[in-house]
């Protein structure tokens, strides 16, 4: 009996760890539900993060497009302002010299009217008294209406000259008002630009926060380039031969060229004209992450040129352009802190070194 009891105890002790370990292999129904719900929440959260990131990028693209349009409008307003200032200066100078002439004309008109009135009445009386008979006097008096018409024409001419002189003053006042309106528009544009810049800065801060769901700028561009090249035949050109196709510097700037990413960055003020380095067809003209407003031109022979960070785009996809044609305006789109142009050349999808070529052509 003791042996049986001892055997039962030993057997129970030896099996107890296996019984306790069993739950770790097959979770209880409640635990499985919790794990499944946790996975679903994680997937949903990841989807929200990705959607939020895409929304932020779209908002940034819209803000930078608005900034580009604002800059373009401001440039036109400043040009109009300069022209209007010249107009005002010319009208003021003309109006100032005309004021004295206007006074003289008005005085001459008054004197003429007074003199003619006196002469007319005196002349009629003298004619009647000087003639030997009534019929002779009547014949001479018949010419007086013609003389009066000539005098009236002289008066009308003086009046017209005075009105023309007054119109110069009216034009000067209107030009002044137009000048003030332009200055107010420029001020309103400046306030609007501050608001958009603040929104852009806030979006850049949000997008700069690290996230495992964010896609790098290089990855975005490479994906785009892959779509462009996937249906093209491969040609083989040496690097000098590729650059020989390009004749025009994309940007006139005396700033030092910086090698960045797979191309170069040329610092320049916002709004400088960006020109096509050679003739070709625009195959992309839109906003892309971190490159901002980007233009890609196909020059044939599988040679592409890329122009990024533009403030404003002047061409559309599918458009045929000439060498030296303005395709965009330099800027800082894509979340850049410095204004300028990103430039890159690719052959068969591979970047070509353009630093030395840029130094020669700039």
In a domain, 39, yes or no: no
80 and 188 both lie in a single domain: yes
251 and 349 both lie in a single domain: yes
Question: Of all helices (H) and strands (E), which one includes residue 287?
Answer: strand 280-288
203 and 222 both lie in a single domain: no
* pLDDT over 50 (residue 27): no
Q: Rounded to the nearest 5 degrees, what angle is found at the Cα of 332, between the Cα atoms of 49 and 192?
A: 85
* pLDDT over 90 (residue 315): yes
234 and 177 both lie in a single domain: no
241 and 197 both lie in a single domain: no
222 and 95 both lie in a single domain: no
In a domain, 125, yes or no: yes
Q: What is the largest CA-CA distance in the chain?
A: 186
Of 303, 283, 302, the C-alpha closest to 294 is 283
In a domain, 51, yes or no: no
- Of 154, 176, 207, the one marking the end of a domain is 207
252 and 290 both lie in a single domain: yes
167 and 284 both lie in a single domain: no
pLDDT digits (tens, 9 = 90+) for 240-276: 666 777 777 888 766 677 777 788 999 999 889 999 9
Total count of domains within the chain:
2
In a domain, 47, yes or no: no
353 and 247 both lie in a single domain: yes
When pLDDT is averaged across residues 33-59 and rounded to a whole number, the result is: 54
In a domain, 52, yes or no: no
In a domain, 49, yes or no: no
Whole-model pTM over 0.85: no
In a domain, 187, yes or no: yes
Average pLDDT of every residue of the chain: 71
Range of the domain at 98: 69-207
């Amino acid at each position: 009996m003791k042996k049986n009891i001892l055997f039962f105890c030993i057997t129970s002790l030896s099996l107890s760890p296996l019984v306790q370990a069993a739950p770790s292999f097959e979770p209880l129904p409640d635990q499985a539900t919790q794990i499944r719900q946790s996975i679903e929440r994680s997937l949903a959260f990841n989807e929200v993060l990705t959607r939020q990131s895409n929304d932020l990028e779209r908002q940034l693209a819209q803000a930078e497009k608005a900034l580009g349009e604002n800059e373009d409008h401001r440039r036109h307003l400043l040009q109009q302002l300069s022209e209007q200032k010249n107009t005002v200066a010319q009208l003021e100078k003309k109006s100032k010299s005309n004021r004295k002439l206007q006074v003289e004309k008005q005085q001459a008109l008054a004197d003429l009217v007074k003199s003619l009135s006196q002469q007319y009445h005196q002349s009629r009386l003298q004619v009647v008294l000087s003639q030997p008979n009534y019929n002779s006097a009547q014949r001479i008096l018949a010419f007086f209406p013609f003389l009066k018409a000539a005098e009236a024409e002289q008066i009308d001419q003086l009046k017209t000259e005075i009105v023309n002189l007054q119109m110069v003053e009216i034009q000067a006042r209107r030009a002044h008002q137009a000048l003030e309106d332009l200055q107010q528009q420029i001020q309103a544009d400046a306030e609007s630009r501050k608001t958009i810049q603040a929104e852009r800065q806030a979006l850049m801060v949000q997008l700069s926060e690290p996230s495992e769901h964010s896609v790098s700028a290089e990855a975005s561009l490479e994906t785009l380039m892959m779509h462009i090249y996937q249906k093209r035949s491969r040609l083989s050109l040496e690097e000098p031969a590729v650059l020989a196709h390009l004749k025009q510097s994309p940007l006139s700037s005396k700033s030092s060229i910086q090698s960045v990413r797979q191309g170069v960055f040329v610092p320049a003020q916002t709004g400088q004209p960006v020109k096509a380095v050679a003739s070709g067809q625009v195959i992309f003209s839109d906003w892309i992450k971190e490159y901002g407003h980007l233009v890609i031109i196909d020059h044939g022979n599988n040679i592409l040129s890329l122009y990024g960070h533009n403030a404003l785009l002047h061409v559309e996809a599918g458009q045929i352009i000439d060498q030296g044609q303005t395709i965009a305006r330099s800027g800082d789109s894509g979340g850049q802190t410095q204004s300028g142009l990103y430039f890159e050349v690719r052959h068969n999808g591979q970047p070509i070194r353009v630093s030395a070529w840029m130094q020669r052509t700039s």
